A and B are shown apart, each in its own frame.
Chain A
Amino acid sequence: MQVAQEFKPTIVAFCCNWCSYAGADLSGTNRLQYPANVKIIRIPCSCRLNPMFILRAFQRGADGVILCGCHPGDCHYTTGNYYARRRMTLLFSMLDYLGIERERTRVEWVSAAEGAKFAATMNEFVETVTRLGENKRLEDLRCKSE
């Protein structure tokens, strides 16, 4: 008998090595809970995030993609996140223009000291994406495994 399963979104979180990744660590050591369906990928700087990474994540089955980086002004490489900010703004705007739900993509600035913010952000983002349901508009059926 088929049991209707509750939808659990897959979230890909790209986290900057110098802040959000440590922030995620801190939320762990503080025993703060955030859903296990958030998959963290460590990147050296938020600026490393190629727009292609986001699209490929959607292709391989992500339902939401979030980028976490240092607060503007706090970048380990001084200016990386400023460039990332412009790029992501334009990319999200383009995705929206193509009719892809804008709530599936997000940028949050989380410092290494903000474990609580990290957990709260993830909880909230997972909730938003769960409400939106499965990503249909940027999926690749060939990448779906049954």
Chain B
Amino acid sequence: MQERVKARAIELLESGVRVLGWKAGEFFYDVTPAVFTSREEIEKEFVFGPFCGANMSKYLIAESRKEGRVGVFLKPCDTYSFQQLQKEHRIWRENVYAVGVQCEGMCDIEAIRSAGIKGILGVDGDGSTLTVHTLYGDKTIARKDALAERCACCKSKKMLGCDELLGEQGEELDSARFDQVEKLEAMTPDERFAFWRKELSRCIRCNACRNVCPACSCEKCVFDNPNSGVENKAAANSFEENLFHIIRAFHVAGRCTDCGECSRVCPQHIPLHLLNRKFIKDINELYGGYQAGADMETRPPLTNFQMDDPEPSVVHERGSEQ
């Protein structure tokens, strides 16, 4: 797949579009999004491998507004964000040439490390087995053991709204992505509070989750006000840590496609996707199944209503009264 994607990137570039793709970072597992404008750059730096987790759709907001067309490679989960952003009129579709790339699930270097492999120099492979190059020779690991959490419970391999596809069109999957949310819901409020304090108190307010999130694309953010006195970690306390994450999750509720980028980029490994998934789960349960970005017509649940929606007291009545 790596070669096919790279070859296609060169073709696209030569047909006169800029190419938005993945570029090798400082480390092999630290792949960053980049815009390529020359053949040499692509040949030297373009990568598509097991660590290309970055969701390209957010970069299209800025790129599609520039002069000329931009070619972009989108994994199935990225295509959901791509459609969602078009629905919100954030991406200028006519300036984008979207290539869907079949995805086998992206890997997490921590997962490989915790499988007991040390001195990792690189990871290769397309299929269900990955080859890990280490200081002590090559090793193999099953892809399913190396997957990032969000890919292990992938919601869909379907590529939506692309101009062309590389590889096979996939299906929506019946994943167990709400398992962890359910586990938390089953705890007592005290346990839940302790869990979230433990997680959120590690937040350093680097704003990486916000900056990478395709749904968080406001031009001005309420959390950027330097006069608020709470815009950085030094000025924040436990309350602000909670507030930032509650409000951020709330603001993307109904628009979050569950791409899992927030948790991927978090330098403190806070499971932020669990907040977003809680909203998705609630929306599904209370207002009928909804997947952001799955289509271009349905109204998002928070800008819509039914006369017979449940009353807010439903929260007080249901669930884990201990």
Contact = CB atoms under 8 A, between A and B. Distances in A.
A89 B286 contact: yes
A22 B306 CA distance: 27
Contacts of B302: 83, 86-87, 90
Contacts of A89: 282, 286, 309-312, 314-315
A51 B307 contact: no
B301 interface: yes
A90 B282 contact: yes
Contacts of A138: 239, 242
Most buried by A among B242, B278, B307: B242
Contacts, number: 109
A142 B235 CA distance: 11
A55 B315 contact: no
A94 B249 CA distance: 9
A86 B185 contact: no
Interface in B246-297: 246-247, 249-250, 253, 275, 278-279, 282-283, 286-287
B189 A85 contact: no
Interface residues of B, number: 45
Contacts of A87: 302
A138 B240 CA distance: 9
A140 B250 contact: no
A37 interface: no
Given A51-B247, A83-B305, A95-B246, A102 B316 contact: yes
Nearest to A89: B312
Interface string B185-213: 10001111111100000000000000000
B127 interface: no
A99 B243 contact: no
A98 B246 contact: yes
A112 interface: no
A4 to B, nearest CB: 26
Contacts of A97: 184-185, 192, 275, 278
A72 B283 contact: no
B311 A101 contact: no
Interface string A46-59: 00000110010011
Contacts of B193: 98-100, 137
B246 A92 contact: no
Contact of A98 (B192, B307, B309): B192
B304 to A, nearest CB: 8
Contact of B303 (A83, A96, A102, A142): A83
A93 B191 contact: no
B222 interface: yes
A59 B287 contact: no
Interface string A103-146: 10011000000000000000000000000000001111110000
A139 B315 contact: no
A52 B247 contact: yes
Contacts of A33: none
A94 B313 contact: no
B307 A99 contact: no
A85 B312 contact: yes
A92 B222 contact: no
A140 to B, nearest CB: 4
A75 B304 CA distance: 15
B169 interface: no
A55 B243 contact: yes
Nearest to A140: B239
Interface of A: 51-52, 55, 58-59, 72-73, 79, 82-83, 85-103, 106-107, 137-142
20 contacts: A72-B307, A82-B305, A83-B305, A86-B287, A86-B302, A86-B305, A88-B312, A89-B310, A89-B314, A90-B250, A90-B279, A93-B282, A93-B315, A94-B249, A98-B242, A99-B192, A99-B194, A100-B193, A106-B316, A139-B239
Given A83-B303, A98-B242, 16 more contacts: A55-B242, A59-B243, A82-B309, A83-B302, A89-B282, A90-B283, A90-B302, A92-B315, A97-B275, A98-B192, A98-B193, A99-B191, A106-B313, A139-B239, A141-B237, A142-B237
